[in-house]
Structure 1
């Protein structure tokens, strides 16, 4: 039998609309008009663990838990020796949910690094290419695509494009791709269709997250004040009564020039 033909990449199966650059430009103009600057370099392991703590936590709680860990364990070797139960106690005392699960992941990451790299340090990721660094990060316990992408983008300054629930919700309401797609497919699609330039991707990520939190909210989205309203087919269904029934995707006048 002839070999089975491989399926084309996601962005070829579902090509981006020609107005996608307009979506990115408007979000950036509204929420992040200035391109970001690299933030001060942090230890990569510290950045990874702090990002792990932020999963299903507020940034305030994650910062408090991380500070408690650093106070309890000035060196990560002490956390490795203390074990998951000791780490869990530190996290619980600092407040926040999923303490047992995250303690297990943290201890698992430290044990994995000690066993496989012989050091509790991820500085070597700075010398790896993008895919090698991603493979190393995603090979650690509890670290999935989004967490790895956040560390790659903001701490290793690589042109990754993490897609959180806010960006995914915005994109699906814009009907950029099938609703059934998983978060992993969504990120792979965005990674293929957005130019691979670090500052542009960092700005788009931040702007997309802010738009999802402030305007394109899970409930009661503020479609009447949305800079994407005329491009969004969902505005006619989800927005306030005064915006429902509005035609989309260029059938209204575009938003004012202040957002161009």
Structure 2
């Protein structure tokens, strides 16, 4: 017999998501996984691309063009070829070169450490002024590297949020960023853990195809489980 359906508000639900996934996956310290420039360029490469192919494209780029100056000076056709494991390598090659030139104008050492001293709106505006940098890329850099209180919404976070009932079915990724952020404390470590844990939960349990609802720790308050799965609709 299925457990009772807990009728919780979105704010109550998201906090339960945080608590339960923290118990499943363990609390993370929030140390940056890679340096800011690596995070920026890798995330630009990750659009519509698997993590493995993103990593391969980045490695091939730096193998052929070992410095950012060499990436800037590379013939765009050769850079595109190096980025081939990533989807849309031609567009990404152009955007990466344009972004690097803009960064170099004011920061010739290609350091993004100045973002530490900017408030969130200023830092977001600066990052999103770079070609090929959208909301997800900007928030990942600011949260992961500079501990700013923002909440990146990738495909896994978005899918889980819709299924559980944190956001509506028609809410876009960009709109979800602010809606979810408004439900949470402005604590970068909480936001970091929740993002990382929702990503892992989406990869392992709440998958796009055939989600493993029977072993999901969120199912007692999940809209999808009670309104779709238990009724045999999905």
Instruction: Give the alignment's TM-score, normalised by structure 1.
Output: 0.78
Q: Which has the higher contact order (CA 8 A, sep 6+)?
A: 2
Aligned to 2:27: 34
Aligned to 2:4: none
Does the 8 Å CA contact 1:52/1:143 hold for their aligned counterparts?
Answer: yes
Deviation at 1:37, TM superposition (A): 3.6
Does the 8 Å CA contact 2:148/2:188 hold for their aligned counterparts?
Answer: yes
Mapped to 2, the partners of 1:104 and 1:71 lie a distance apart of: 18
Q: Using a 3 Å threshold, how does the CA distance of structure 1 residues 131 and 72 change in structure 2: closer, same or farther?
A: same
Q: Using a 3 Å threshold, how does the CA distance of structure 1 residues 46 and 20 change in structure 2: closer, same or farther?
A: closer
Report the number of matched residues.
223
Gaps of 5+ in 1: 1-14, 247-260
Deviation at 1:30, TM superposition (A): 1.5
Q: Within 5 Å, which residues of 2 pair with 1:195-234?
A: 195-234=185-224
Runs of 4+ in 1 over 4 A off after TM superposition: none
Q: Within 5 Å, which residues of 2 pair with 1:103-122?
A: 103-115=93-105, 117=106, 119=108, 121=110, 122=112
Does the 8 Å CA contact 2:150/2:181 hold for their aligned counterparts?
Answer: yes
Cα RMSD between the aligned structures?
2.1
Q: Using a 3 Å threshold, how does the CA distance of structure 1 residues 39 and 113 change in structure 2: closer, same or farther?
A: closer
Instruction: Give the alignment's TM-score, normalised by structure 2.
Output: 0.86
**Which of 102, 113, 123 is the equivalent residue of 2:92?**
102
Mean Cα displacement is larger for which, 210-219 or 82-91? 82-91
Mapped to 2, the partners of 1:201 and 1:118 lie a distance apart of: 29
**What SS does the corresponding residue of 1:97 show, helix, strand or coil?**
coil
Q: Within 5 Å, which residues of 2 pair with 1:27-176?
A: 27-31=21-25, 33-39=26-32, 42=35, 44-92=36-84, 95-115=85-105, 117=106, 119=108, 121=110, 122-176=112-166
Deviation at 1:134, TM superposition (A): 1.2
Higher share of residues assigned helix: 2
Does the 8 Å CA contact 2:150/2:191 hold for their aligned counterparts?
Answer: yes
Does the 8 Å CA contact 2:158/2:176 hold for their aligned counterparts?
Answer: yes
Gaps of 5+ in 2: 1-8
Deviation at 1:185, TM superposition (A): 0.9
Does the 8 Å CA contact 1:220/1:238 hold for their aligned counterparts?
Answer: no
Aligned to 2:12: 18
- Select the structure of larger CA radius of gyration: 1
